């Protein structure tokens, strides 16, 4: 999870303005014995291509965005 918050002076009102950016990033690593680069690459490729998003979770997330 990443969150970036910017605060800056608001010269129109004399107050402060804020900007928020949030993101969720995916990081994947694989450990393998030395010399097994090709096998590890094939395995990681297969694992990454088989990942599927749960439709119920995706719909719940979309509903939150719609509500905002």
pLDDT digits (tens, 9 = 90+) for 30-50: 999 999 999 999 999 999 999
Domains contained in the chain, number: 1
pLDDT at position 42 is 95
- Whether residue 2 contacts residue 23, with contact meaning beta carbons closer than 8 Å, is answered with yes
Q: What is the pLDDT of residue 2?
A: 87
The range of the structural domain enclosing residue 35 comes to 2-67
- CB contact at 8 A, 20 and 13: no
pTM tops 0.95, yes or no: no
């Amino acid at each position: 999870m990443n969150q970036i918050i910017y605060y800056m002076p608001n010269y129109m009102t004399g107050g402060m303005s804020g900007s928020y950016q949030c993101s969720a990033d995916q990081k994947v690593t694989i450990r393998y014995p030395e010399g097994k680069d090709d096998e590890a690459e094939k395995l990681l490729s297969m694992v990454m291509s088989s990942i599927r998003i749960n439709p119920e979770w995706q719909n719940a997330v979309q509903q939150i965005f719609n509500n905002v």
